[in-house]
Structure 1
Amino acid sequence: MHSSHRTNANAARATSLGKRLSTMPVLLTDGGIETRLIYEFHCPLPDFASFLPLFDEKGRGDLTALYGSYLAIAAEFRLPMQIGTPTWRAHPEGLARQGFRAPDDLRRVNETAVRFLRDLRREMAVEDLVLIASVIGPRLDGYDPQGAPKAAEAEAYHRPQAAVLAEAGVDLLYAPTFASADELLGVAQAMAATGLGYAVAPVIDDEGLLPDGTALKDAVQRIDHAVSPSPLHWLIGCVHPARLRSAHEMPAWPSTDSPRIRGLKANASSLPPDELDRLDHLDEGHPSSFADEMLALHHDFGLRVLGGCCGTDHRHIRALAERLTAKRS
C-alpha cells in the first residue's frame, strides 16, 4: 500500500478507535511485564529488553504464560483491556545493545512482538475485548532525562520503530515512561506521522513534574498544540496511585475543566521510580490495597484507563477487575 494511502487508512482507524474509547466507562490494562519476567519467571532481562524472550523456547513460554494471565482476566470479567507489546527497548540503540544489529532487525523484532500478541489474542478468543498497544520506550533512561534527545532528534530517532509498529497491525501506538518533555514531544510527532491513534504516558513526581522539571500541564499543552493529530489521551506511567493523587492537587496538574489525563498504569510500590529502579528485589505491595486505591482514582478523578506497571501482576489486575465489575451488581 502506498504510504499516503496507509496513513489515511490509519487515520480512519484512529477516528474509529477514538469514538470507541469515548464510550468505554473503563479500559483495564495489563500489569507488569519486565518485573514479572525478571522476578517471577527468572528470565535474564538486561536493559529491561523484554523482546529477548521472544527468541528462545523458554522465554516464549514465559511470555505466553504472563500475557495469558492478563487476557484470561479480560475474558472472565468481560472487561475491555489494553495490552502492550514487549518492545519498550526494541528501538535501534536498544536492539544494538543486545546484539540485534542486522539491517532488518528493527522490523523483524517489532513485527515478531506484534504477531505474538495478535496470535495469543486470537487463540484466547478475546479479539472483541483486547486492544494491542505497541510500546515505544525512551532512547535512554525512563526516569533520568540526562542525555535524552531534543524534540527534532527524538522524532527522527523514534520514527522508524513507530512506522514498523503501525504497519504491523496494532490498534494504537503507546509511549510510556518518558522523563523528558522534549523527547516526549518528538516521539508524539513520530507516532502522529503514522496516522494511527496513539497515547503517551510520562513519569511524574508528587508535585506533577516530569523528571526534567517540566510541569505536566505545560507538557500536555505543548504537545496537544504542536502535534497533529494530538494524542487520543494521556496516561501517567510507572508511579504509585498515592503519588498521582498528590500530584493532582498541585499547580502543575492540567486543568480539570477539560481533562486530558485519562488513566494510570501504576506501580505496586510507593517508592519513587528512581529508588524503585535501584532495588535488587521486587516490591509488589498488596493487590487489594492497590485495587482500592485505583478504584478511588476512578471515582474521584474520572480516570478510565486503569492498570499496572512495575511490581504488579495478574493478582493486582484481577483485584481491580473484581472491584470494577462489582459496580455492575
Structure 2
Amino acid sequence: MTKYRYDLPQRRGGIFLTDGGLETTLIFHRGIELPHFAAFVLLDSDEGRQQLKRYYESYLAIARDHSAGFVLDSPTWRANPDWGAKLDYDAAALRSINMRSIEFLDELRANWESPKMTCVISGAIGPRGDGYKAGNMDASEAEAYHAAQVSAFAEAGADLVTAYTLNGIDEAIGIARAAQALAIPVVISFTVETNGRLVRGETLREAIEAVDRETKNAPEFFLINCAHPTHFESALAAGEAWVNRIHGVRANASTKSHQELDESEVLDCGDPSDLGRRYADLRRSFPRMRILGGCCGTDHRHVAAICEACVVPRPRSG
C-alpha cells in the first residue's frame, strides 16, 4: 500500500487510462440497482464485489493490451456523510467502506500490475451535494466535511485522492486543504456546463487559478470530467499557463446538458469513435493531458476507442 504516494508515476509522463462511467454502466448495461447512484454499496456483498471486479477488469485489459498505465479509482463517489445518511451508513460504516474500497483495489492491482502496466490507486471523492447543482459551503466547511473520507483513504494506503464532478471553487479548495493536511496527493476535477463554465458562471481559468492561489498549488494537477469535449474545447486556450495544470479528461459520452441527462430515462452512449478522435485532438493541442477515461454514458467501448486513438499499441509477439 502507499506504493506510489511519494512518487506518482503520472508525474513522469506516459498515458494513464481510467475506467468509464461506473454508475451508468452498472445501472443501464448490467441492470444493477444503485440507490442514490451509490456504487460503494456493492462492496458489502460477495456478488457486488464480483460485479465491480468484472467491471474494472474490462478496462484493465485494455490498458494491458496497449502497455498503458492505469488509475484505479475507488467506487466511492457517493461515500460521504450526507449521501451515506440516506443509505443508513453512519460515520464508522463510511470509514470502513472507504478503507475497504482501497483494499479491494489493492487486490486488483496485485493481480494485474506488470512492468508494462503501472496501476495507481486513487480514492475517489464526490461533491457533498448534487454534482450538477451549486453548493453553499465555504472552503473551511468543505475541508472539515471531506476530511474524514480523505483520512480513510490515507490510512488505507491510497496513492492519492481525486475529487470528481466538482462545480464549486470553495469545495475544491477545502478538499485540497484536507488532503494537504494529511500529506496525501490530491487531484481536483471540475465539471462544466455546455458553455464551458462552472454552474455559477466561473471560467475554468478562474477556478483553477483560485484553487492554486488559495492552496499554494496543493493539487498535483487538475482534470475535467462529466462534460462532453464540445462543452469545454473552446474554453481551453493553448499557450496559457493555467491550461498546463489540466492533465486529463474523463468526458461524458453524450453532448446533452446536465439537465437533459438528469431528466433522461434512456442512456445516451454517443459515438465512441468520435469521442476517441476528440481525445486525440485534445492530446495534440495539449500534450500534458495524459489521464484519459470516461464519465457518464461511457463504457469499455469508449475507453478502447480513446486508447486506440491516443496510445500506440505494443507489437504482438509471434
Check whether TM > 0.5.
Answer: yes
Letter matched to residue 239 of structure 1: A
What SS does structure 1 have at the residue aligned with 2:170?
helix
Distance in 1 between residues matched to 2:194 and 2:285, nearest whole Å: 17
Residues 328, 109 of structure 1: alpha-carbon distance in 2 compared, 3 angstrom cutoff = closer
- Does the CA-based 8 Å contact 1:216-1:254 persist in structure 2? no
Residues 232, 211 of structure 1: alpha-carbon distance in 2 compared, 3 angstrom cutoff = same
**Structure-1 residue corresponding to 2:162:** 174
The CA deviation at 1:53 is 1.1
The CA deviation at 1:229 is 5.3
**Structure-2 residue corresponding to 1:309:** 295
Match for residue 259 of structure 1 among 244, 254, 258: 244
Query: How do residues 17-28 of structure 1 correspond to structure 2 at under 5 angstroms?
Result: 17=8, 20-28=9-17
What SS does structure 1 have at the residue aligned with 2:244?
coil
- Does the CA-based 8 Å contact 2:283-2:310 persist in structure 1? no
**Structure-2 residue corresponding to 1:40:** 29
Distance in 2 between residues matched to 1:132 and 1:289, nearest whole Å: 29
What SS does structure 1 have at the residue aligned with 2:226?
strand
Distance in 1 between residues matched to 2:217 and 2:6, nearest whole Å: 10
Letter matched to residue 34 of structure 2: L
Identical counterparts, % of pairs: 38
Letter matched to residue 233 of structure 1: F
- Does the CA-based 8 Å contact 1:217-1:255 persist in structure 2? no
Residues 60, 267 of structure 1: alpha-carbon distance in 2 compared, 3 angstrom cutoff = same
**Structure-2 residue corresponding to 1:268:** 253
- Residues 1:197 and 2:185 are matched in the alignment: yes
The CA deviation at 1:317 is 0.9
**Structure-2 residue corresponding to 1:185:** 173
Match for residue 83 of structure 1 among 64, 69, 72: 72
Q: For this pair of structures, how many residues does the alignment match?
A: 313
- Residues 1:16 and 2:7 are matched in the alignment: yes
- Does the CA-based 8 Å contact 2:187-2:223 persist in structure 1? yes
- Residues 1:65 and 2:50 are matched in the alignment: no
- Does the CA-based 8 Å contact 2:74-2:102 persist in structure 1? yes
Distance in 1 between residues matched to 2:114 and 2:130, nearest whole Å: 34
- Does the CA-based 8 Å contact 2:185-2:220 persist in structure 1? yes
**Structure-2 residue corresponding to 1:294:** 279
**Structure-2 residue corresponding to 1:161:** 149
The CA deviation at 1:228 is 4.2
- Does the CA-based 8 Å contact 1:139-1:148 persist in structure 2? no
- Does the CA-based 8 Å contact 2:236-2:243 persist in structure 1? no
- Does the CA-based 8 Å contact 2:169-2:210 persist in structure 1? no
What SS does structure 1 have at the residue aligned with 2:99?
helix
What SS does structure 2 have at the residue aligned with 1:104?
helix
The CA deviation at 1:215 is 2.0
Match for residue 304 of structure 2 among 312, 318, 322: 318
- Does the CA-based 8 Å contact 1:202-1:237 persist in structure 2? yes
- Does the CA-based 8 Å contact 1:28-1:80 persist in structure 2? yes
What SS does structure 2 have at the residue aligned with 1:259?
helix
- Does the CA-based 8 Å contact 2:254-2:270 persist in structure 1? yes
Match for residue 265 of structure 2 among 280, 292, 295: 280
- Does the CA-based 8 Å contact 1:136-1:175 persist in structure 2? yes
Match for residue 124 of structure 2 among 135, 141, 145: 135
What SS does structure 1 have at the residue aligned with 2:7?
helix
Residues 164, 196 of structure 1: alpha-carbon distance in 2 compared, 3 angstrom cutoff = same
Aligned alpha-carbon RMSD (Å): 2.3
Letter matched to residue 301 of structure 2: R
Distance in 1 between residues matched to 2:149 and 2:126, nearest whole Å: 10
Give the gaps of 5 or more residues in structure 2.
Answer: none
Distance in 2 between residues matched to 1:136 and 1:148, nearest whole Å: 18
Match for residue 209 of structure 1 among 161, 184, 197: 197
What SS does structure 2 have at the residue aligned with 1:68?
helix
TM-score, structure 2 as length reference: 0.91
What SS does structure 2 have at the residue aligned with 1:326?
coil
- Does the CA-based 8 Å contact 1:284-1:312 persist in structure 2? yes
Residues 124, 304 of structure 1: alpha-carbon distance in 2 compared, 3 angstrom cutoff = closer
- Does the CA-based 8 Å contact 2:65-2:314 persist in structure 1? no
Residues 280-306 of structure 1 show CA distances to partners (whole Å, capped at 9, x for unaligned) of 111111211111111111112222221
**Structure-2 residue corresponding to 1:4:** none
Distance in 1 between residues matched to 2:265 and 2:114, nearest whole Å: 36
The CA deviation at 1:277 is 2.1
The CA deviation at 1:206 is 4.0
The CA deviation at 1:125 is 3.8
Give the gaps of 5 or more residues in structure 1.
Answer: 1-9
